[in-house]
């Protein structure tokens, strides 16, 4: 295999096909529906059904699906007990919330009677349970970290509203719930991204859904992937502190360019003319900020200055993680829970790809180009 055939990071390599999603320069499509249409007209529950079942739900189907998710929000006692002992791990820094979520999902597999069953029916049932339970893991983890009793799921609330309720113990406004709902729609699916491809590689060995999702969480954690939404907010905080100490945004950016820093929330392996999701979430987040007050509007003003410099100087656009950081910060969501919330959405895309891979499976095993030492004798 010559170097000419290899592409660093598999850039531009078509590694398989999928009926689930198309990521194009001009559009992002989930099973035939364009992302802007879904963001305006669907709910996360409707998009989750579309991804997991394969078609747009009828009103009756959606109602039944919603009831099934609500009925499965509670966690097994063993997982609740685990989450209660996590604050020292989180406070010491030995674990971050993505690590705790990864362990909790793995435990949910240990406790799921269908864990070893890769049939389509069992995998769809397991996917629905994980979709329902992951927000509860996030909520109970945050409650424990704040020294509070676990906030029980509220069946009167939508998926997005219940996630916010369990994390904060406060019923969200309709506006905040809708912004969270749209962010979950935007994050749900994105064809062969690194975490989804990881899930496909794992399940292509005929391993199970929980193993594939556990691996995908590990992949999404990285700041080059899903972890960028937390890193983007941390970067904006850094710029704000520098600005208050007298360094202009422009000078901070010039120094970052000189240091060849990767600016979090910018760039994309596929999108070269901008991420369709970024503008949608930015607009919603800015509306929230304008409702909340000048301090939050200033954050979006700063973000827009950073975006303009990146575009003017580097021709690099923001991806969905940049507006996500500012939006979730405006919603008072703790920064380390941003990527776990990404998981609460992307579980639907991952599970759809696992089911598609198992339905038409072939082991995923590429070859490599050897660049190691020439042959020599062990006793020579
Ligand atoms: C997600 O794949 C998906 O679909 C992922 C995702 C999904 O929904 O699943 O969309 C979610 O992961 C979005 C991406 C989140 N990651 C970040 O925001 C991290 C910062 N971004 C970069 O690290 C980068 O843009 C990547 C990793 C996203 C893509 O990197 P590539 O395709 O490997 O491009 P590259 O690193 O080779 O960069 C090409 C050039 C380089 O310049 P040169 O060295 O050639 O001069 O562009 C520059 C890079 O330095 N560049 C950046 C940059 N991104 C690219 N320079 C500064 N800051 C950046 N963010």
Active-site annotation holds for 268: yes
- The catalytic residue among 159, 321, 353, 358 is 321
Is 208 known to be catalytic? no
List the residue whose alpha carbon is closest to atom 2 of ligand 1.
193
Residue minimizing CA distance to atom 38 of ligand 1: 267
Q: Is 319 in the pocket of ligand 1 (CB under 6 A)?
A: yes
Q: Hey, whose CA ends up nearest to atom 57 of ligand 1? A: 262
Q: Does residue 267's CB lie within 6 angstroms of at least one atom of ligand 1?
A: yes
Of 230, 259, 262, 270, which is best to mutate to test ligand 1, by the most ligand atoms within 8 angstroms of its C-beta? 262
- CA of 266 from ligand 1 middle (Å) equals 6
29 C-alpha vs ligand 1 centroid, how far in Å? 21
Question: Of 261, 226, 249, 245, whose CA–CA distance to 308 is shortest?
Answer: 249
* pLDDT given at position 315: 98
Model pLDDT, residue 6: 75
Q: Of 140, 210, 268, 317, which residue is the catalytic one?
A: 268
Ligand 1: distance of its center to the CA of 224 in Å? 7
Residue 304 tokens read as: 């827009």
Per-residue model confidence as pLDDT tens for the chain (380 residues): 455 567 899 999 999 999 999 999 999 999 999 999 999 999 999 999 999 999 999 999 999 999 999 999 999 999 999 999 999 999 999 999 999 999 999 999 999 999 999 999 999 999 999 999 999 999 999 999 999 999 999 999 999 999 999 999 999 999 999 999 999 999 999 999 999 999 999 999 999 999 999 999 999 999 999 999 999 999 999 999 999 999 999 999 999 999 999 999 999 999 999 999 999 999 999 999 999 999 999 999 999 999 999 999 999 999 999 999 999 999 999 999 999 999 999 999 999 999 999 999 999 999 999 999 999 999 98
Ligand 1 mean position to 340 CA, how many Å? 21
Instruction: Evaluate whether 271 touches 319 at the Cβ level (below 8 Å).
Output: yes
Q: Which atom of ligand 1 is found nearest the CA of 225? A: 12
User: 3-state SS of 283-298?
Assistant: HHHHHHHHHHCHHHHH
Is residue 264 in contact with ligand 1, taking CB distance under 6 Å? Answer: yes
Separation of CA 193 and ligand 1 centre (Å):
12
Nearest to 344 by CA among 72, 31, 38, 48: 48
Residue 225 annotated in active site: yes
Atom of ligand 1 nearest to the CA of 194: 2
Q: Which long-range contacts (CB under 8 A, 24 or more apart) does 43-46 make?
A: 43/158, 43/159, 43/181, 43/185, 44/158, 44/159, 44/160, 44/181, 44/184, 44/185, 44/188, 44/345, 45/69, 45/158, 45/159
Q: What is the CA radius of gyration of the chain?
A: 21
Mutate to test the pocket of ligand 1, among 267, 311, 352 (most ligand atoms within 8 A of CB): 267
Active-site residue, selected from the candidate residues 225, 276, 282, 317: 225
The residues spanned by each domain of the chain are 16-365
pLDDT of residue 1: 44
Yes or no: domain 16-365 corresponds to CATH 1.10.580.10 = yes
């Amino acid at each position: 295999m010559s170097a000419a055939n290899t592409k660093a990071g598999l850039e531009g390599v078509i590694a398989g096909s999928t009926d689930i999603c198309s990521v194009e320069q001009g559009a992002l499509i989930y099973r035939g529906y364009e992302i802007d249409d879904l963001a305006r007209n669907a709910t996360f529950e409707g998009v989750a059904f579309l991804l997991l079942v394969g078609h747009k739900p009828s009103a009756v189907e959606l109602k039944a699906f919603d009831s099934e998710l609500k009925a499965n929000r509670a966690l097994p006692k063993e997982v609740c007990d685990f989450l209660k002992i996590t604050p020292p791990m989180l406070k010491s820094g030995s674990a971050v919330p993505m690590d705790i979520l990864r362990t909790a999902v793995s435990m949910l597999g240990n406790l799921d009677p269908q864990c070893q069953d890769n049939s389509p029916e069992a995998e769809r049932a397991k996917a629905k349970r994980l979709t329902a339970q992951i927000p509860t893991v996030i909520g109970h983890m945050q409650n424990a970290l704040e020294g509070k009793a676990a906030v029980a799921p509220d069946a009167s609330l939508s998926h997005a509203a219940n996630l916010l309720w369990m994390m904060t113990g406060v019923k969200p406004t309709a506006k905040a719930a809708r912004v969270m709902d749209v962010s979950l729609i935007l994050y749900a699916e994105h064809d062969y991204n690194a975490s989804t491809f990881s899930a496909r590689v794992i399940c292509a060995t005929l391993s199970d859904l929980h193993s594939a999702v556990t691996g995908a969480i590990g992949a999404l954690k990285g700041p080059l992937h899903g972890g960028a939404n937390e890193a983007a907010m941390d970067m904006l905080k850094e710029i704000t502190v520098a600005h208050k100490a007298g360094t202009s945004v422009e000078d901070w950016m010039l120094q970052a360019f000189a240091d060849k820093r990767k600016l979090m929330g910018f760039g994309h392996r596929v999108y070269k003319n901008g991420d369709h999701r970024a503008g949608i979430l930015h607009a919603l987040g800015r509306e929230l900020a304008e409702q909340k007050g000048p301090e939050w509007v200033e954050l979006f003003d700063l973000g827009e200055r950073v975006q303009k410099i990146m575009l003017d100087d580097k021709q690099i656009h923001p991806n969905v993680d940049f507006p996500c950081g500012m939006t979730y910060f405006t919603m008072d969501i703790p920064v380390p829970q941003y990527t776990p919330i990404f998981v609460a959405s992307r579980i639907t895309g991952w599970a759809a790809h696992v089911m598609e891979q198992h339905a038409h499976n072939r082991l995923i095993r590429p070859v490599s180009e050897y660049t190691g030492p020439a042959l020599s004798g062990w006793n020579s």
